[in-house]
Amino acid sequence: MVRVRFAPSPTGSLHLGGALTAVANRRFADTNEGAFLVRIDDTDPERSALASEQSILEDLAWLEVESDEPPIRQSTRGDVYRAAAATLEERGIVTNEDGALRATVAWRPTLLRADGTATYHLASVVDDGELRITHVIRGRDHLSSTELHVELAQALGYEPPEYVHHGLLVGADGKKLSKRDGAASVGALRDSGFPAEAARAYLEELAIPKHDVQLDMSRLERLSVDAIAGLDDAELAGRVGVSDRLAPALRGARTFTEGRAFAAQIVAAPEPPTLTDEEKVAIQRLIDLRERAEEELDGPGAKSLLREVKAVGGSLRTVREVLTGARRGPELWTVLYALDRDETLERLERGLGT
């Protein structure tokens, strides 16, 4: 049975590159009817933080990347690693230098610190063996560790997993993502108002990239527009925190943040603009139509009113400016749909100066 894992270190927020690895592993497990596990690599107490661990788990939950078994923490498995280190010492795979155990390879990496805590190399190999991990899917920045990990696994009597190293998610300069690239972490993406569905869809599109890929914020925005458009009115309004009547106005927004701005534009009564006599004719026409219309408009009804205003040569831009105070924004019919009859008439009449 296929078993894969995602093993973040709790030393900061979940980087988008880490999220790419997590999604790739989750999808590989699902495709192969296998299991996906989360392991917290917290063997370094000076760099690990409980708040960071919680943040990472929350980010994974937001992306709907769920572990099939309870997450494990390496900080609770010290006895297992020390036993493995003793086995390696008996077999001549490590040497004792000032109380620390080092692997007998050219670069002599430390496997067990002098204080008895395991380093990444030993803990990772032991856990992969004990958890029966069949495939290790990780970034190519770990490629240099593979030969050592295979040697350690074999020395401990484990069947080494199959290692797959994917390309990294990088910025426009080809280097590690940073804040200037738009959203270096999952939390930053969420705080910017991107739906989880868009973030997950983008990472799934990248799959297991063979080469480094640049973060494409334009593609993320297109996927975000699609995700927002695909939500029903109640779900969309709930996520943005507005009335259901405002939901149609949010479609076309690139993020929930932009959607909230669209909603605010409609809800806030604007200062009336100064209109020419010709512009006032169009506003008066809409007043007449809205007075005769039903108390609440449906979508087709709102569109019909605007068509009639346009048919007499009325400027829809003027209508928008009177109703919202802006020249651009959500589709105009959604503004008429969202505003009740009295509020619409009040704004229109203020536009006429009455």
* pLDDT number for residue 11: 85
Kindly state whether residue 337 falls inside one of the protein's structural domains.
yes
pTM more than 0.75: yes
Kindly state whether residue 318 falls inside one of the protein's structural domains.
yes
Q: What is the average pLDDT across 321-340?
A: 94
Q: What's the CA gap between 156 and 152, in Å, rounded?
A: 6
* pLDDT number for residue 180: 54
* pLDDT number for residue 39: 97
> What is the number of structural domains in the chain?
1
H-assigned helices in the chain: 16-31, 50-62, 78-90, 120-130, 146-155, 186-191, 196-206, 217-229, 233-240, 247-250, 256-267, 277-292, 299-311, 316-324, 332-338, 341-352
Render pLDDT for 117-133 as a digit per residue (tens, 0 to 9). Answer: 999 999 999 999 999 99
Q: What's the CA gap between 147 and 150, in Å, rounded?
A: 5
Q: What residues are paired with 213 via a beta bridge?
A: 169
Kindly state whether residue 186 falls inside one of the protein's structural domains.
no
Encoded tokens for 337: 């749909």
Encoded tokens for 255: 């993020």
Quick one: angle between helices 299-311 and 277-292, nearest 10?
Answer: 150
Kindly state whether residue 316 falls inside one of the protein's structural domains.
yes
Kindly state whether residue 217 falls inside one of the protein's structural domains.
no
Give the structural domain span for 291: 267-352
Kindly state whether residue 76 falls inside one of the protein's structural domains.
no
Render pLDDT for 197-250 as a digit per residue (tens, 0 to 9). Answer: 999 999 999 999 999 999 999 999 999 999 999 999 999 999 999 999 999 999
Kindly state whether residue 276 falls inside one of the protein's structural domains.
yes
* pLDDT number for residue 13: 86
* pLDDT number for residue 313: 85
Render pLDDT for 141-157 as a digit per residue (tens, 0 to 9). Answer: 999 999 999 999 999 99
Q: Say what percent of the chain tops pLDDT 70.
A: 98
Q: What's the CA gap between 191 and 344, in Å, rounded?
A: 33
Cα four-point dihedral sign 287, 288, 294, 299: negative
354 contact partners, CB below 8 Å, separation of at least 6: none
Render pLDDT for 46-71 as a digit per residue (tens, 0 to 9). Answer: 777 888 999 999 999 999 999 999 99
Kindly state whether residue 320 falls inside one of the protein's structural domains.
yes
Contact 337, 302 (CB under 8 A): yes
Confidence of residue 178 (pLDDT cuts 50, 70, 90): low
pLDDT mean across residues, the chain = 93
* pLDDT number for residue 183: 63
Q: For residue 347, which of 273, 247, 263 has the smallest C-alpha distance?
A: 273
Compare 313 and 141 and report the one with higher pLDDT.
141
CATH number at residue 321: 1.10.10.350
